[in-house]
Structures are given as structure tokens and as C-alpha cells.
Chain A
Amino acid sequence: MNPNLPNSFRSGPDERGHFGIFGGRFVAETLMPLILDLEKAYADAKADPAFQAEMNVYLKDYVGRPSPLYFAERLTEHLGGAKIYLKREELNHTGSHKVNNVLGQIMVARRMGKKRIIAETGAGQHGVATATLCARFGLECVVYMGAVDVERQQPNVIRMEMLGAKVVPVQSGARTLKDAMNDALRDWVTNVHNTFYCIGTVAGPHPYPMMVRDFQSIIGHETRKQMQEAEGRLPDSLIACIGGGSNAMGLFHPFLDDPSVEIFGVEAAGHGLTQLHAASLAGGRPGVLHGNRTYLLMDADGQIEEAHSISAGLDYPGIGPEHSWLHETGRVKYLSATDEEALAAFQLLSRLEGIIPALESAHAIAKLSELAPQRPKDHLMVVNLSGRGDKDVPQVGDILKARKK
């Protein structure tokens, strides 16, 4: 047994925001006072029963929770191994798990008296969720989105604008998620007095990785309860896709101290791990970016490299710091799926279950298709279906049409 393993995998981060060596608060001084305010505001909210009670009302009646835990019978038959359950986060209002976190952060922003909300977005799912809740609560909303992503995720851009948000196409760098986050941080430094930065994943400076994880943990808590009701016991394994890693952390965290539960995260391997990809654990090493220390894709000089994934939501050269720690401690096993594997899984789930998954979630389905056949029929496997694929229909349609020619 590794003597460095903690007594619990659920006790982090420490008071300085560290998960082992990962995490921290690597931000400009201008932001630091606000980050300390946020830490305090979140701690107060967490301790306030009225906050949780209000959240619960919106989670139920506005988001539509709990999301079902659905037995995927035809997929199970097709793969011929483990019994597969889908956690249906794609049925949430706005179409993904992102809304769980945004609701929480917007409620904290309101407690702090902030009237202007900014966000970064890759696939646009976090941007749509943020635009939605800003509309609901009458807040100004500005979403930074890489210009490349604006092109490939048009349906979400239109949705955000319909909801009254301003979408700013980011032209710097590779013009994807990393650059959107840079520009969101620049906006925040400039407008720090009235602006709340609603980060979409379990990354960024402390307390964001912890706070976002807490808001997303409802996924895992519900899964525990629902599996108990369906099968009378815990699941045997969990699978989720990972860009920054918020849907995965939300599902995993409540199970980290259950040693019988195997846990798998799936990174985006793009064209393959020896070519352009977005798998920071498989192909990166620890570094410091966007407020935290975590695994990053970079060159020998510490310059950040551009990621590639077919899925805009996974197209990021980093990963949440808690995942880096769970990787190093070995509690979670991290795999990766290529663009091709994700495309195949996208079609498989659509045809077998009548559910079109987001390209992000299709990465988890891809690895599920490898793992499930190797396991016995009484093995209970849960995959987080983090988002629905409506936004990807034009992009995938074009790819498939081009191949038929």
C-alpha cells in the first residue's frame, strides 16, 4: 500500500486550495482580493440552510432534477457484458450537466451583489447555461468563445444570443477554449468591481475547483440513491468524459471512498496520442495555467500547446487539478478516446437507444464499448451522459456526408 495515500479521497482541498501538489491560487494581484471574497461568500452560502433550500427549488422545478438513471437495455445486449445505466444529464434544462454548476454560482453571485456575469465556453453548453440563468435572474451576461468554436457550434451561439447574452468571438491563440478563458480572465481583471466570473469547469484558482465540484456532485449523489433503488447496491464502475472534468468530478466524487467502485475518466485523444490531441494526463505534465497547477500539454520551454479534439468542449490543454491528483494517487483510471471512436459511439448510441449524445459524452460511450464486454452480466456500469447532441448534429452531419462522397 502506498504510504502517501490519504485516509479519504474526499477531504480535499486543503485551506490553500491544494489537492496534493495540484490546485492553488495562481492569479494576478488585482483578482486576489475578489477570490478571497468569493471563498468567504461560498463558505457562508454552504453553511446557510436557506441557500440550499432555494437551490433545491430551482434544481427541481427549473432544471428538472433529479435526472433519470436509465437502464440502456439495447446497448447492454449489443455489448454483451456489463449491465449499463445512463445517467441522463442531457435531459436537464439547457441540455447538459453545466446548468447544475451555473445555478449554484449565480446564486453565490447574487449573494455577493454582482450584476454582471462573464463566462468562457467551448462547446457552448456552459455559455448557454450561463445565458439562461442570467436571463432568469435579470443579470448582464458576456460569454467568451473561441472564434473556431463559434463556427463549429453555431446552434449554441444562436441560443445564447436569443437568451440575451453577448457572445464575444475570441481571435487570439488557437481561438478555442483556452483562449476564451484567457480573454475572460482579462475581462475580469478589468471589470473586477462589478463582475462575477462563472467558470464552467472544475479548474481555475481556488475555490473554483472545489465549488464547481460541490455543485456538480448532485450527479453522483443521485446516482447512488437511484442505483440503490434499482439494484439494491452500489454500481461497480463509473465512466465519464473529461475536458476540464466537471461532469466526471460530479459523478465520481461521492464514490471516491467506496473502494469497490472502479472509476474511469476518458480524455479526448483527438487524432491519436502521438498526434494532435487534448489528453493532458496521458500526454502532459504538471504546470501552472489559469490559476491552478495541474497536468498541461506544453513544450520543453513551458509554453502551452494547442489541444485538438473533434469536440469543442474537450478541446483544452489542461484538466481540473483534482483529476491530476486522483490520477497520481491512482484512485481514478484515465483512458482516452479518439475523434474516430467518439464519432462511432455517437452513431451507436443514436441508433441503439434513440439518444443522440453530445460529442463530448460520446467519448465516454466509446470507452464503455470497450470495457463493458470484458465484464460479467451482473456488473453494474454507469456512464454519465453529460450532454445531448443537438448542437453537434450539423457538424457530424457534414462529416458523414463528406465521407459518403
Chain B
Amino acid sequence: MTTRIDARFAELKQQGRSAFVTFVMAGDPDPKTSLDILKALPKAGADVIEIGMPFTDPMADGPSIQAAGLRALKGGMTLRKTLAMVRDFRKEDNATPIVLMGYYNPIYIYGVDSFLADAKTAGVDGLIIVDLPPEEDTELCIPAMKAGLNFIRLATPTTDDKRLPAVLANTSGFVYYVSITGITGAAAADSTAVAEAVARIKRHTKLPVCVGFGIRTPETARAIAENANGAVVGTAIVDVVRANLDAEGRATPMTVAAVADLVSALAQGVRGAKQAAE
């Protein structure tokens, strides 16, 4: 099975550069603006797109992404609408990998089998589910693999060498290394420590390793991209969405353009990296 994720990383490897992975919250601040943002991302330089599935109780997220999810829910976003958004995106872009990221409960309530079928049909390539560790693989990870979706696991500074094989066992697509112990949007990652951690993970897997949490600027993105197969930016993008809303929290004519500008700048950072990690 080869997904758009596998194809994209193979392509980038040939070009000798790392991936720029962007995170946006589905439905933030409203479904239409959110779709426009999504469509603007590949043009601005996003190689892989993570779409957050809004949830009322995101226990691993900091204030920015919590607020983004609540804005989306207030705007009427649901998991069904998130899948519809991916379907609309796919009408124009059949190459950029889409990874849905979020928490298990909305999927569990949707129904695992129907969710996987609908996600696959919509053009989703992978899933990152924060509250499903390998101990709960029978819930969604194994069914997702059977349905032809990548299940991308988070590895963290607390995932030691003894535990890594279990974490990597059913992982596909890429490995998402969480550079800090903490929530999204917290302290910046230290690129030396990240380089060591990526090297450690690579001793256990041939999969690409992308690094996220704590990357906000083109400079940090570049430093991370020199030491990993991809750099993920989420909170900084979500913050720009919020900064470009009107006083009532509605989109303005600036919202989409401001996100695209930031993403372009970050993409330049990643593309300026000297050498992607092998």
C-alpha cells in the first residue's frame, strides 16, 4: 500500500529536502474560510497538511489550539463537515497528503468503521489520534491500517528505547516526534536535543521522522528541518488566524492572506535548510 504520504516523502527525498507540515483547525473560524485557508496552503509551500478535528476537551493542546477548536465548534463544525471539507479540497488537489489530527471520542461516536470508510473516500491519507497509545491499538489503529490509512504515532521525550519498538510497530506514513514534554504551543524545541532524538528514533525505523511542538519561526523551522525529515507548525498558524479576525471573532478579508504569508515565510525557512536528515 502506498499512500499520498509515502509518495510525497519519496519525492522530497529525491529533491533532497525536508517536508514542511502545517496544522490548521477544521472550521476555524468558519467552514468556508477554513476551506479557503486549506486550499491556500499547498500554494504557500505546505508539503503535508494536518487538519485538526475540533474537540471540546483537547487535553494535550495549549490555549491557542483549544480556542481554535472552540471557535470551530461555535461555528457549527462537526466531524462530518470536516470530512466534507477534505472532499472539497480533493477536487482541486489530489497530491498533497491530508492527515486528520485530534482525539478519539468524536470518531468513536461517528462509528470507527463508517468513519474509516468515509475518511478514505473523502481523500484522507492518515490519522494522528492523541489519546490512542499503542496499548489501545485494537480500537482504531489496526482497523485504519486495514482500511488503507496511515496511522501516525507520536513519539515523545519520554518514549525510551525500550518502548520505541512498541510505539513504532503499527506506525506508518511517518513518525511524529513531539519535541518537548508539554502541550502544543509551549516552549521552543532545542535543535541539538531534537537532532539526537531523531537519530535515536531512526535507529529503530526507516520511516521519515517529522518534528513538532514549539516551532514558531522560519529560523527554528530551518534548524529543525536540518535535523529531521519534516518540521510541523501549528500554534503559530492558528495564532495568525485569530489575530486576523474582527472584534466578533469573524473572518476578515485579511484572514486567508495572512495565513498564506506566514506559511510562505515558514516554507522558505524549511527549504533553506542545508541538508535533510537521512
A binds B: yes
A residues sitting closer than 8 Å to B (CB atoms) are 16, 24-34, 172-173, 178, 182, 185-186, 189-193, 287-291, 293, 296, 298, 300-304
Q: Is there contact, CB below 8 Å, between B158 and A182?
A: no
- Bound state CA distance, A178 and B160, in angstroms? 31
11 contacts between A and B (CB under 8 A): A28-B154, A29-B167, A30-B157, A32-B135, A189-B183, A190-B183, A193-B181, A291-B131, A302-B106, A303-B106, A304-B105
Q: Is there contact, CB below 8 Å, between B178 and A29?
A: yes
- Bound state CA distance, A25 and B139, in angstroms? 11
Tell yes or no: B136 within 8 A of A by CB: yes
Q: Is there contact, CB below 8 Å, between A28 and B133?
A: yes
Tell yes or no: B145 within 8 A of A by CB: no
- Chain A: which residue is nearest B153 at the CB level? A29
Q: Is there contact, CB below 8 Å, between A298 and B105?
A: yes
Tell yes or no: B73 within 8 A of A by CB: yes
| Interface members, chain B 71-93 (any A CB < 8 Å) | 73, 78-80
The 6 closest A-B pairs by CB, nearest first: A302-B109, A302-B106, A190-B182, A30-B156, A301-B78, A185-B59
B residues sitting closer than 8 Å to A (CB atoms) are 54-63, 66, 73, 78-80, 103-110, 130-136, 153-160, 163, 167, 178, 181-183, 186
- Bound state CA distance, A210 and B189, in angstroms? 37
Q: Is there contact, CB below 8 Å, between A189 and B106?
A: no
- Chain A: which residue is nearest B166 at the CB level? A32
Q: Is there contact, CB below 8 Å, between B105 and A287?
A: yes
Q: Is there contact, CB below 8 Å, between B181 and A301?
A: no
Nearest chain B CB to A296's CB is how many angstroms away? 8
Across-interface contacts of B153 in A (CB, < 8 A): 29
Across-interface contacts of A303 in B (CB, < 8 A): 54-56, 73, 106
Across-interface contacts of B62 in A (CB, < 8 A): 186
- Bound state CA distance, A189 and B132, in angstroms? 15
Nearest chain B CB to A288's CB is how many angstroms away? 5
Contacting residue for A33 out of B60, B66, B158, CB 8 A:
B158
Evaluate whether A26 and B183 lie within 8 angstroms (CB atoms) in the complex, with A289-B105, A302-B105, A303-B55 already known. Answer: no
Q: Is there contact, CB below 8 Å, between B133 and A189?
A: no
- Bound state CA distance, A34 and B156, in angstroms? 12
Q: Is there contact, CB below 8 Å, between A16 and B57?
A: no
The DSSP consensus for interface residues of chain A is mixed
Additional A-B contacts beyond A26-B136, A30-B60, A296-B105 (7; CB < 8 A): A30-B182, A32-B135, A34-B158, A182-B59, A186-B60, A300-B109, A302-B109
Q: Is there contact, CB below 8 Å, between A288 and B57?
A: no
Across-interface contacts of A185 in B (CB, < 8 A): 59-60
Nearest chain A CB to B91's CB is how many angstroms away? 24
- Bound state CA distance, A189 and B134, in angstroms? 17
Across-interface contacts of A193 in B (CB, < 8 A): 158, 181
Q: Is there contact, CB below 8 Å, between A289 and B133?
A: no
Across-interface contacts of A288 in B (CB, < 8 A): 103-105, 108, 131
- Bound state CA distance, A29 and B201, in angstroms? 15
Across-interface contacts of B110 in A (CB, < 8 A): 301-302
Q: Is there contact, CB below 8 Å, between A173 and B57?
A: yes
Evaluate whether A26 and B158 lie within 8 angstroms (CB atoms) in the complex, with A288-B104, A298-B105, A302-B107 already known. Answer: no
Across-interface contacts of A178 in B (CB, < 8 A): 57
Contacting residue for B156 out of A29, A290, A300, CB 8 A:
A29
Evaluate whether A190 and B108 lie within 8 angstroms (CB atoms) in the complex, with A29-B133, A33-B158, A290-B59 already known. Answer: no
Q: Is there contact, CB below 8 Å, between A30 and B109?
A: no
Q: Is there contact, CB below 8 Å, between A29 and B159?
A: yes
Q: Is there contact, CB below 8 Å, between B57 and A289?
A: yes
- Bound state CA distance, A293 and B133, in angstroms? 14
Q: Is there contact, CB below 8 Å, between A304 and B56?
A: yes
Q: Is there contact, CB below 8 Å, between A25 and B136?
A: yes
Q: Is there contact, CB below 8 Å, between B109 and A29?
A: no
- Bound state CA distance, A193 and B57, in angstroms? 24
Across-interface contacts of B54 in A (CB, < 8 A): 303
- Bound state CA distance, A32 and B156, in angstroms? 10
Nearest chain A CB to B109's CB is how many angstroms away? 3
Across-interface contacts of A32 in B (CB, < 8 A): 133-135, 158, 163
Across-interface contacts of A192 in B (CB, < 8 A): 158, 181
- Bound state CA distance, A23 and B134, in angstroms? 15
Across-interface contacts of B158 in A (CB, < 8 A): 29-34, 192-193
- Bound state CA distance, A191 and B160, in angstroms? 17
Nearest chain B CB to A37's CB is how many angstroms away? 10
Across-interface contacts of A302 in B (CB, < 8 A): 55, 79, 105-110
Nearest chain B CB to A278's CB is how many angstroms away? 16
- Chain A: which residue is nearest B82 at the CB level? A301
Evaluate whether A26 and B104 lie within 8 angstroms (CB atoms) in the complex, with A186-B59, A288-B131 already known. Answer: yes
Q: Is there contact, CB below 8 Å, between B59 and A28?
A: yes
Across-interface contacts of B56 in A (CB, < 8 A): 173, 303-304
Evaluate whether A189 and B60 lie within 8 angstroms (CB atoms) in the complex, with A16-B135, A26-B131, A302-B107 already known. Answer: yes
Q: Is there contact, CB below 8 Å, between B136 and A189?
A: no
Q: Is there contact, CB below 8 Å, between B59 and A29?
A: no
Evaluate whether A287 and B109 lie within 8 angstroms (CB atoms) in the complex, with A26-B104, A28-B133, A302-B79 already known. Answer: yes
Nearest chain B CB to A40's CB is how many angstroms away? 13
- Bound state CA distance, A33 and B161, in angstroms? 11
Across-interface contacts of A26 in B (CB, < 8 A): 104, 131-133, 136
Q: Is there contact, CB below 8 Å, between B155 and A189?
A: no
Across-interface contacts of A31 in B (CB, < 8 A): 158
- Chain B: which residue is nearest A301 at the CB level? B78
